[in-house]
Amino acid sequence: MIDVIASEWMKLRTLRSNLHVLACSVTAVLACAGIAFMIGRGFDGKTLDEKMAFPGNGDGLGNGIAVAYFVFAVLGALAITSEHSTGMIQTSLVAVPRRRVLLLAKIPGLAAVALVAGQVLAFIMHAASMAALGDRAGQLLREGVTLGTPLSEPGVLASVIVAGLSMAAVALIGLGVGAAVRSTPGALVVLTVLIVVLPVVAKTLPMPLRAQAGSFMIEKLPLQIAGVGGGILPPAAAAGLLVAYVLAALTAGATMITPAGRRIKVLAIGAAAALLVSAVPAAAAGSPGPSPTPAWADCADKTLVKEMRCATIKVPVNWAERSGRSIDLAVGLLPATGAQRRMGTVFAIPGGPGGSGVEDLSKNAGSFTELRDRFDVVSVEPRNTVDKGVLSFDCLFSGPWISLPETPAEYAELGRRNRAAAQRCRSADPEFFDHMDSASVARDMEAIRVALGEEKLSFIANSYGGRPGIEYSRLFPGRVRAMVFDGSVNPYLHGAHNRLAHEKSFTRFAAWCAATTTCALHGQDVGEVWRALVARADRVPVPVRGESPAAAYSGLDIKEAAAPSIISPGEEPGLPRWTELAEAIKRAADGDASGFADYVRQATKSPKVPSSTGMNMTHCLDGLVFRDYEEYRRRRREGERLLPNIAGTELWHPLGCVGWPTSVTNPPGPLPARGLPPYLGVGSWTDFDRSADIVRRVPGSAAVQYQGYGHGLYNAGNSCVIGHVNRYLISLRLPASGTVCPKSGT
């Protein structure tokens, strides 16, 4: 056998045509570089958001790998069809009468040449693609990858190496096809169909059939074997399929060169081997989808996006008494699209408290488009959603108007008003009302995980959703695969320190007004106008035209009404909410607070911002409270020192809990020192510090600041933030320290 292998090696290395064929592989390098160059040209001149939406160039080999495959397949086919075309096959069979031995003897030399040449070619193709892209290669995309992927990126080195190995596999496939067809033109036709035509046909199919069919094409297997995308197959199954292709081709060749009476035996052995190497890894590595519970069905609410599926799960009202009364939670699912191998489930934790995650997920479905290539995305209408129907929506949505107590007696009077408002809502169902804390919400989330059949979940915690995210991390650290805090509330930053970024936002508002002629306060010192108005309103509240004297605005009322506009001015360049705020300040300075009352009424149906009972029923149980009047006074003095323009806004929510009828059940607690994966925090100018402070408590974590305005950036469709979050959720790779996202459009 060794002599036969040596003779076949001599044939392979002495034929000039083989060198010519290998030289043609240069066209694969040119294809990679050319396509990458065209991508770069199309990329230039685009806005940031347009660049973020570009498809990635992957490891750079995909543009030329079909060319490379065809070259190596032809090399393999010619190793035997050239003998048929010249008649040398008869001489070879005289020297080696056992035909299958002759075929097998061609494999070592061919494989050795293809392995070396394939590896060299794969790395040159990658380098050519990266060089053509230049500095653009590092641009992060919404899908969570960069435009070009250097070898340092997770899985890229492996994918390039596997691509080189796959070229050797394709050469053996060509050998098998050549042996089966016995004709160079015929082999070329078959190989063209396998390598060129079938992948093109697969790309014309509708989704998800396109992704499913494409995953089985040879050109898609290296990326899947490396675990970096390319299709729906797990690495072991993709590797098994590649080996099965080789075995199938060689079996076909061995069958056709075997005398007719023995072909069935050869075919049966080869087919069994091919099926075994493809089926066993697929069965071992296959990851099951979600459990059949909950029972997903079309959503009854037809205002939700069409692709959303809905279900309900039962959870106990009181997790300390699991056998007691239960309630139904509505759960929404945006299923994975099937474009890539499913990696698990991402849980979008809604904010509020009191918001419906199902509605949020439907409204913001576009933000999850790229993530759904690999994940199911679920959310819940949590137990503290204000319109669940158990407690009166009108009652929960309303509440008392908050004032700043100046004496212990006024503090006690505020407590009586708060307690009365709470009792009005609580009386309908005290047991339910008393279990609205974030720890109960976190336990509900764990029940959903169990129902989904997932070992671990990944999370995106939006705004107040950060508090259930923290509680889940404390209660179930081993069930967290990844956690993103997006503009999340922070129970570890107290009082005025939670509002320092908002104070800076007011400074930006004043600077904008000074520079913008359309601002109603342009030409005036906005800070002086504002502080004078607030001080005067604290002495004599500013009336609201057409409302009772009780609706007159104090300085705190003005600050609280203005706060959302201060931190979220609206889209640039118009910044409509800052424009509206400046006009409201001017009107109030002239003696009419209607400018504030008008837009507060649109959101709350109240002329002044109420202390919402529905939010307080979670805030107060979560420990957002003052211990006593003395702590309130200390926090107030601190705010007046640190927040010259918005002092008092940091007291609003804790003042809403003064006199609350139920005690704190879920006080803030530290995150576990061990057992959690690194976390990612994201946020805008006004909420980055809060998210960054949460994640710094988990070793190895990172944070990204968006250098602009906004809140809940992932849901809002901020492409740069989506790119970093998707990258983290897919590969668990965190951005470098100090990473920022520039303003959209810059």
Show me where the domains of the chain are located: 1-235, 298-381+440-492+672-741, 525-610
Angstrom CA distances, 509 to 514, 596, 598, 719, stand at: 9, 17, 21, 25
- CA 23 to CA 378: how far, in whole Å? 52
Percent of the chain predicted with pLDDT > 90: 59
Q: Give per-residue pLDDT as tens, 158-214.
A: 999 999 999 999 999 988 888 888 888 888 898 898 888 988 888 888 888 888 888
User: Which residues, listed in sequence order, are joined to residue 375 by a DSSP beta bridge?
Assistant: 344
Q: Listing from the earlier edge strand, what are the strands of the sheet with 297-298?
A: 297-298, 309-316, 326-334, 375-381, 344-349, 457-462, 480-486, 680-683, 702-706, 740-741
pLDDT at 290 over 50: no
Residue 75 and residue 109 in contact, taking contact as beta carbons nearer than 8 Å: no
The one-letter amino acid at 161: I
Q: Which of 149 and 692 is assigned the larger pLDDT?
A: 692
**Cα(627)–Cα(632) distance, rounded to whole angstroms?**
8
d(CA 91, CA 79) in angstroms, rounded, equals 15
Pair type for strands 326-334 and 297-298: unpaired
Neighbours of 407 (CB within 10 A): 9
pLDDT of 739? 94
Domain 298-381+440-492+672-741 part of CATH 1.10.1740.10: no
What average pLDDT does the segment 81-88 reach?
Answer: 68
Measure the CA–CA gap between 453 and 376, rounded to whole angstroms.
13
Asked whether the beta carbons of 476 and 446 are under 8 A apart, the reply is yes
pLDDT on residue 81: 81
Mean pLDDT for the stretch of residues 374-382: 96
Q: What are the residues facing 314 on neighbouring strands? A: 328
Strands 375-381 and 326-334 come out as antiparallel
Across 72-76, 176-180, 215-219, 253-257, least confident range:
253-257
- Give the phi and the psi of residue 698 in degrees, each rounded to 5: -110, 115
Strand, coil or helix: what is 429? coil
pLDDT at 364 > cutoff 90: yes
pLDDT of residue 294: 80
Q: What is the mean pLDDT of the chain?
A: 88
Question: How many Cα atoms are found within 13 Å in the side-chain-facing hemisphere of 626?
Answer: 25
Show Cβ contacts of residue 3 under 8 Å, excluding neighbours closer than 6 positions: none
250, 79 contact by CB (below 8 A): no
Tokens of 59: 């490891």
Residue 426 has pLDDT above 60, yes or no: yes
Tell me which amino acid residue 277 is. Answer: V
CB 120 within 8 A of CB 131: no
What pLDDT score was predicted for residue 288? 46
Give the distance, in angstroms, between the CA of residue 375 and the centroid of all CA atoms in the same chain.
8
Q: Is pLDDT above 80 for 543? A: yes
Contact call for residues 261 and 268 (beta carbons, < 8 A): no
Share of the chain above pLDDT 70, in %: 91
- Paired residues of 326 in beta bridges: 316
Residues 275-280 have a mean pLDDT of: 69
Angle at 97 between CA 91 and CA 100, to 5 degrees: 110
Q: Which helix (H) or strand (E) holds 485?
A: strand 480-486
pLDDT digits (tens, 9 = 90+) for 252-275: 878 877 776 666 756 676 667 777
pTM of the model: 0.89
Peptide bond into 294 cis (omega under 30): yes
Measured distance CA(680)–CA(454) in Å, rounded = 21
The two tokens of residue 85 are: 């075309």
Assess whether pLDDT exceeds 90 at residue 556. yes
> What does DSSP say about strands 702-706 and 680-683: parallel, antiparallel, or unpaired?
parallel
| Closest of 171, 145, 173 to residue 159, by C-alpha | 145
Q: What's the CA gap between 166 and 163, in Å, rounded?
A: 5
Residue 746's pLDDT band (cuts 50, 70, 90): very low
Rounded Cα gap, residues 347 and 329, in angstroms: 15
pLDDT tens, residue by residue, 88-98 = 665 665 555 56
Q: Return d(Cα 613, Cα 429) in angstroms, integer.
A: 14
More confident site: 743 or 15: 743
Give the pairing type, strands 344-349 and 457-462. parallel
